[in-house]
Amino acid sequence: MLDTAHTDPSLDVLRAAAATVYGVMPRTPQYAWPLLAKRTGCSVWVKHENHTPTGAFKIRGGIVYMQHLKRKQPDCAGVIAATRGNHGQSIAVSAKAAGVRAVIVVPEGNNPEKNAAMAAQGAELVVHGPDFNTALDHAHALAEQQGLHFVPSFAPLLVQGVASYALELFDAVEALDTVYVPVGLGSGICGLIAARDALGLKTEIVGVQAEAAPCYALSFAVGHPVSTETADTLIDGVATRVPVAEAVEIINRGAARIVTVSDDEALDAQAYLMVDTHNLAEPAGAAALAALMQERDLMRGRRVAVIQSGGNADAGNVLEVARRARTFV
C-alpha cells in the first residue's frame, strides 16, 4: 500500500508538492475577465486549468502520486486506473514520464477524444461497463489479476498535487470572497480547502455538481456519504454515483455549500466562456461558472473565482456550444 499520509497537509507539504508539479509543467494563469464581470455582476477570476499539458487540473495530482510511487516502489509492474478521461490522461502522462506501464479502464460510450488522447499518451485502454463505477470495479479486478498498482481518483497525494493550482490562485489574487469548483470524486475541491486552510484564509468554497449526479450534494445535506443509482448527465467530469467517504468528510467540514447545475446551464456556461474569454471548457470545466450564474445576485459586488477545471470537450459538444454562443454575443 502506498504511503498517503497528510490528509490535512501543512503549507510546507503543499509547497513541496507544488515544486514537484513544476518539475513537469508550468503554473497556469488566472485572469479577471471584464465581460464575465459584466455578465455576473461581480469581479470574477477564471483559473485556467484548461491550460495544463493534458487540458485539465488532474495532471497535477498524477505527477505527485507517480513520483512518490517511483521512489517507494521502483520495481512496480505497472499502474491501473478507472476514469472518464482527465484522471486517465494524468496517469498516462505521469506514468510514461516515470517509465511505468499504465492501463486505463473507461466506461462504454466514453468521450472518444479523451480515449484517443490517453492511448496517444501511452496508456493501454480497456473499455468496460455502462458507467464510471462499473469501470472502477473492473479496474480493481484487473489490478489483482495482473499485479498492477491501482491509482484511485481520490487520494491524499493526489489532493496535495492538485492543491498547487489553489496555491497559485490564492497567491495571485488577494481577498477572494468565494471560489466555485466542480466536484467529481473530490480532489479538486479538497485541494482548494487544503490550500485555503494552510494559508489561513477565510475564502468560502462552493462545490458544484450536476443535478443528475448529486451524490456529494446529497452527502453534504445529510452529513454522511450518500450514493445514487444513476449519473446520467452530459457533465461527464462530475458523473459519479458513489462518493469517497474521506472526501465527504473534508468537503462537509470545509465547504460552504454544494450547488447543483443542469446540463443546460453547463452548456450555457461553456458558451459564456467561449464568448467572454475565448477559452474552450468541457461541460465540467464550465460547471463552476454555471453555479456562479445561479448565485449572481448573492455574489453581486464580491471578489469571486471559478475553476475552469478542463477544456477537453468533444466535437459534438463544441458544435452545440458554438451554436449557443452565437446567441450570447
- Is residue 52 located within the same domain as residue 89? no
174 belongs to a structural domain: yes
- Is residue 194 located within the same domain as residue 270? yes
Radius of gyration of the chain (CA): 18
**What's the pLDDT tens digit per position in 255-280?**
999 999 999 999 999 999 999 999 99
The pLDDT value recorded for residue 2 is: 54
Q: What CATH number did the domain enclosing 142 receive?
A: 3.40.50.1100
Could you tell me where the beta strands, DSSP code E, fall in 38-96? Answer: 43-48, 79-82
Please identify, among 84, 118, 150, the residue that sits at the C-terminal boundary of a domain: 150
285 belongs to a structural domain: yes
Short-list 14, 56, 30, CA closest to 311: 56
Domain that holds residue 210: 11-56+156-328
**What's the pLDDT tens digit per position in 87-105?**
899 999 999 988 899 999 9
- Is residue 86 located within the same domain as residue 107? yes
The pLDDT value recorded for residue 249 is: 97
- Is residue 174 located within the same domain as residue 284? yes
**What's the pLDDT tens digit per position in 301-310?**
999 999 999 9
Query: Residue 234 and residue 147: Cα distance in Å, rounded?
Result: 34
64: pLDDT strictly greater than 50: yes
Higher pLDDT, 230 or 175: 175
Please state the domain count of the chain.
2
The pLDDT value recorded for residue 121 is: 92
Please identify, among 118, 150, 182, the residue that sits at the C-terminal boundary of a domain: 150
Parallel, antiparallel or unpaired: strands 43-48 and 30-32: antiparallel
Task: Summarize the confidence of residues 304-318 as an average pLDDT.
Answer: 95
6 belongs to a structural domain: no
